């Protein structure tokens, strides 16, 4: 296949040993998906494995496996174990009888099952297609078709290359990475675009950007960075779970709504490879999928999202609240929500800053997963974000080592994640361990570690290190604007200080999520004493909109 040939359709594979059921499954799938997918069927697990062999040989991509559990020779779960080892990104659905729900639960744990369906599924328009539509939409959002789309050329380990890849990944832009040092296609592109600095970003129309920053990429990708109007009912600063939830509720209730995000929608949660404890998603979903769905939902209700846009100022002007962006633009609003979230703390050891993006990464699990193939990966941290990253990297890396300062994972991690890490043979946990120093020439090569239980210091080869060691609020731009605690988290409602004159200018008490500047609210991780969970951030975002209505009614 040449680069100008049409890409083959992704495959949906149905597997069932009952000929009548298999015919019905293929009929229903072809009725709804034949225009976009190639629908294949197999009457046994062994036949299906042969289909997988053919797909691998021809470079075709399976999008979804729909597999019966009760088959002779090999169960559906056992087949999925084999299938997922070859095609880890394909979505998987198990067909079960009423008496086989235990098998479905086992499959969720063993192969990250996305869904299970009870037989029969009639009518398919109500019980089959909505489920598959949702799963295929998620798969397409992350699909990287061969030889098409954006290509990023750069060194395998490079801070500038990482920044470009991270921006594209977090903004849901499919791309293919080409190693400038070894990939023949990379050499061809560099010859074609001589004189450019790395990383080079090549687009399907033949254009290319040389070492672009986020603003240049955003402009080329057509991301909106300019507000369509001068005044809004509410401006939401930060599009993490709290901000996106507020955007959905505000817009759905008729408020003109603008969301401003400095990086990519989803915030810190958007970097999570898998969130398993969010209500309504028993098989979990990635932070990117959650963000993508929320953005679509907010947009459907009429909310406007601008990114990447940095907010640098906020002031009061009569009844209006004026938001200033880094390019000098000013946007007014009746109410403002601060939901800028938090950023991972930097590793405070010698040479950490030098190797950032050159082997040392903060978050970035989904961005750098492809770089981890067959490598030894280190994850620093003992909270849920570190656990999620370790489980995700285990699908790609030869080995994952989790370095934890405490005595055990349970001290800061949810039990389900700690249990899953212990069930994964390629993940090693080292408690009472901290990093003392990083070493290397052009990029990270090794670390000095200390076992705090014994006092032993030792060095270990390390090319890829990912840190998740607590967080600091994104609130530096708010100094002197609203009251914050000693760590920079925004104070709201009853937590506002009462011992300083003039701290609150109105006769009424501040509302629960209201800051020291009336009409300006805070929600999510940036707020002092908030519960640092996705669900609580979503709840606070929704609550903030209700409080905005109260403020508007009383103003």
Average pLDDT for residues 472-494, to the nearest whole number? Answer: 94
pLDDT > 70 in the chain, percent: 96
pLDDT of 119 reads: 79
Q: What is the pLDDT of residues 379-391, one digit of tens each?
A: 999 999 899 999 9
Q: Is the pLDDT of residue 308 over 70?
A: yes
Whether 422 maps to a domain, the answer reads: yes
Residue pointed to by tokens 């479905």: 104
pLDDT value for 27: 93
Confidence at 511, pLDDT banded by 50, 70, 90: very high
* Digit-coded pLDDT (tens) for 108-137: 777 788 888 887 777 888 888 999 999 999
pLDDT tens digits along 434-479: 999 999 998 999 999 999 999 999 999 999 999 999 889 999 999 9
Tell me the per-residue pLDDT of 82-118, one tens digit each, with 9 for 90 and over: 998 889 889 999 888 765 667 667 777 777 888 888 8
Quote the pLDDT of residue 502.
Answer: 58
What would the mean pLDDT of 409-428 be, rounded to a whole number?
92
Burial 432-442 (b: 16+ CB within 10 A, else e): ebbbeebebee
Asked if residue 6 is part of any domain, the answer here is no
The verdict on 184 and 114 lying in the same domain is: no
In a domain, 351, yes or no: no
Q: Which domain, by its residues, includes 546?
A: 231-343+473-554
Burial 22-37 (b: 16+ CB within 10 A, else e): bebbbebbeebbeeeb
d(CA 458, CA 436) in angstroms, rounded, equals: 10
Band (pLDDT 50/70/90 cuts) for residue 500 is low
Helix then strand count (H, E) for the chain reads: 15, 26
- For residue 134, being part of any structural domain is answered with yes
Q: Looking at the structure, tell me whether residues 460 and 492 fall in a common domain.
A: no
pLDDT of residue 3: 38
372 lies in the same domain as 481: no
Q: State whether 429 and 312 are in the same domain.
A: no
HSE at residue 175, side-chain half, CA atoms within 13 A, is 27
Lowest mean pLDDT among 158-167, 188-197, 397-406: 188-197
Give pLDDT, residue 247. 98
Instruction: Answer yes or no: do 21 and 128 share one domain.
Output: yes
Q: For the chain, what is the mean pLDDT?
A: 90
The CATH number linked to 30 is: 3.40.50.2300
Give me the CATH number covering residue 200.
Answer: 3.40.30.10
What is the C-alpha separation between 202 and 193, in angstroms, rounded? Answer: 9
> Virtual CA dihedral for 126, 129, 135, 136, nearest 10 degrees?
-160
Question: What pLDDT is recorded for position 347?
Answer: 93
Predicted pLDDT of residue 444 = 95
250-288 pLDDT tens trace: 999 999 999 999 988 998 888 887 888 889 988 888 888
Query: Is a pLDDT exceeding 50 seen at residue 2?
Result: no
- Taking residues 168-174, report their average pLDDT: 86
Are 270 and 408 contained in the same domain?
no
Per residue in 54-88, pLDDT tens?
988 777 889 999 999 888 889 888 999 899 888 98
Whether the predicted pLDDT of 311 surpasses 60: yes
443-450 CB contacts, 8 Å cutoff, 24+ apart: 443/157, 443/355, 443/358, 443/359, 444/157, 444/355, 444/358, 444/359, 444/360, 445/359, 447/378, 449/403
Q: How confident is the model at residue 501 (pLDDT cuts 50, 70, 90)?
A: low
Q: Flag whether 218 is in a domain.
A: no
Q: Are residues 336 and 480 in the same domain?
A: yes
| Residue 401 scores a pLDDT above 60 | yes
Residues 458 and 375 in one domain: yes
Cα–Cα distances (Å) from 82 to 11, 56, 392, 462, 553, in that order, read 17, 13, 18, 30, 60
pLDDT digits (tens, 9 = 90+) for 208-267: 999 999 989 999 999 999 999 999 999 999 999 999 999 999 999 999 999 999 988 998
- The pLDDT value recorded for residue 158 is 87
Q: Is 429 in the same domain as 494?
A: no
Residues 262 and 264: their CA atoms lie apart, in Å, by 7
Share of the chain above pLDDT 90, in %: 63
Dist CA 122 CA 34 (whole Å): 19
- Residues 86 and 53 sit within 8 Å (Cβ to Cβ): no
Residue 171 pLDDT > 70: yes
- Do 531 and 486 belong together in one domain? yes
pLDDT band at residue 6 under the 50/70/90 scheme: low
Q: How confident is the model at residue 369 (pLDDT cuts 50, 70, 90)?
A: confident
In this structure, the answer to whether residues 48 and 121 fall within a common structural domain is yes
Stated length of the chain: 555
* Mean pLDDT of all residues in 195-203: 89
Q: What is the 3-state secondary structure (H, E, C) of 347-387?
A: CCCCCCCCCECCCEEECCHHHHHHHHCCCEEEEECCCHHHH
Quickly state the pLDDT bin for 5 (edges 50, 70, 90): very low
Predicted confidence at residue 146, as pLDDT, reads 55
Q: 524 or 144: which carries more pLDDT confidence?
A: 524
The pLDDT of residue 100: 65
pLDDT of residue 365: 67
Q: What is the pLDDT of residue 194?
A: 84
* CATH code for the domain of 496: 3.50.50.60
In terms of domains, do 16 and 138 share one? yes
Look at the block and give the residue holding tokens 């970035």. Answer: 364
20-29, 31-40, 43-52, 183-192: range with lowest mean pLDDT: 183-192
pLDDT of residue 371: 80
Q: How many domains does the chain fold into?
A: 4
Between the ranges 241-255, 285-299, 363-377, where is the mean pLDDT highest?
A: 241-255
């Amino acid at each position: 296949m040449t680069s100008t040939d049409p890409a083959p359709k992704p495959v949906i594979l149905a597997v069932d040993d009952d000929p009548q059921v298999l015919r019905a499954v293929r009929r229903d799938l072809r009725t709804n998906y034949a225009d976009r997918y190639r629908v294949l069927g197999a009457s046994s697990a062994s036949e299906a494995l042969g289909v997988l062999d053919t797909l691998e040989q021809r470079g075709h991509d399976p999008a979804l496996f729909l597999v019966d559990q009760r088959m002779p020779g090999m169960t559906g779960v056992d087949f999925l174990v084999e299938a997922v080892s070859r095609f880890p990104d394909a979505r998987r659905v198990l067909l079960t009888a009423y008496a086989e729900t235990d098998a479905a639960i086992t499959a969720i744990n063993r192969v990250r099952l996305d869904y299970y369906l009870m037989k029969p599924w009639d009518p398919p328009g109500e019980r089959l297609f909505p489920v598959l539509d949702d799963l295929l939409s998620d798969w397409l959002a992350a699909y990287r078709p061969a030889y098409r789309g954006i290509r990023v050329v750069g060194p395998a380990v490079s801070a500038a290359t990482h920044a470009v890849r991270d921006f594209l990944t977090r903004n849901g832009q499919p791309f293919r990475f080409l190693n400038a040092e070894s990939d023949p296609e990379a050499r061809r592109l560099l010859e074609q675009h001589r004189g450019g600095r790395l990383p080079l970003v090549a687009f399907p129309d033949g254009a290319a950007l040389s070492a672009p920053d986020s603003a240049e990429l955003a402009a080329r990708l057509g991301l909106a960075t300019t507000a369509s109007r001068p005044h809004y009912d509410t401006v939401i600063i930060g599009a993490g779970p709290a901000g996106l939830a507020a955007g959905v509720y505000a817009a759905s209730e008729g408020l003109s709504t603008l969301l401003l995000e400095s990086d990519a929608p989803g915030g810190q949660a958007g970097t999570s490879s898998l969130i398993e404890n969010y209500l309504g998603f028993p098989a979990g979903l990635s932070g990117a999928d959650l963000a993508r769905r929320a953005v679509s939902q907010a947009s459907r209700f009429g909310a406007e999202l601008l990114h990447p846009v940095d907010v640098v100022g906020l002031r009061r002007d009569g009844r209006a609240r004026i938001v200033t962006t880094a390019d000098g633009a000013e946007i007014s609003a009746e109410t403002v929500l601060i939901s800028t979230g938090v950023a991972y703390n930097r590793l405070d050891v010698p040479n950490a800053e030098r190797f950032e993006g050159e082997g040392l990464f903060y978050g970035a699990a989904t961005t750098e997963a492809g770089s981890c193939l067959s490598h030894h990966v280190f994850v620093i941290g003992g909270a849920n974000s570190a656990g999620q990253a370790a489980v995700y990297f285990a699908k790609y890396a030869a080995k994952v080592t989790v370095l934890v300062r405490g005595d055990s994972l349970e001290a800061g991690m949810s039990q389900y994640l700690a249990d899953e890490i212990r069930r994964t043979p390629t993940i090693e946990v080292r408690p009472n361990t901290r990093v003392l120093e990083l070493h290397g020439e052009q990029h990270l090569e090794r670390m000095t570690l200390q076992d705090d239980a014994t006092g032993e210091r030792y060095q270990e080869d390390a090319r890829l290190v990912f840190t998740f060691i607590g967080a600091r609020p994104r609130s530096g731009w708010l100094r002197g604007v609203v009251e914050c605690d000693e760590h920079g988290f925004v104070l709201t409602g009853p937590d506002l200080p009462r011992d300083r004159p003039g701290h609150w200018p109105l006769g009424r008490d501040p509302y629960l999520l209201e800051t020291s500047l009336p009409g300006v609210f805070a929600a999510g991780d940036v707020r002092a004493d908030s519960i640092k969970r996705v669900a609580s951030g979503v709840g606070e975002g929704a609550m903030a909109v209700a409080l905005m209505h109260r403020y508007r009614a009383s103003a």
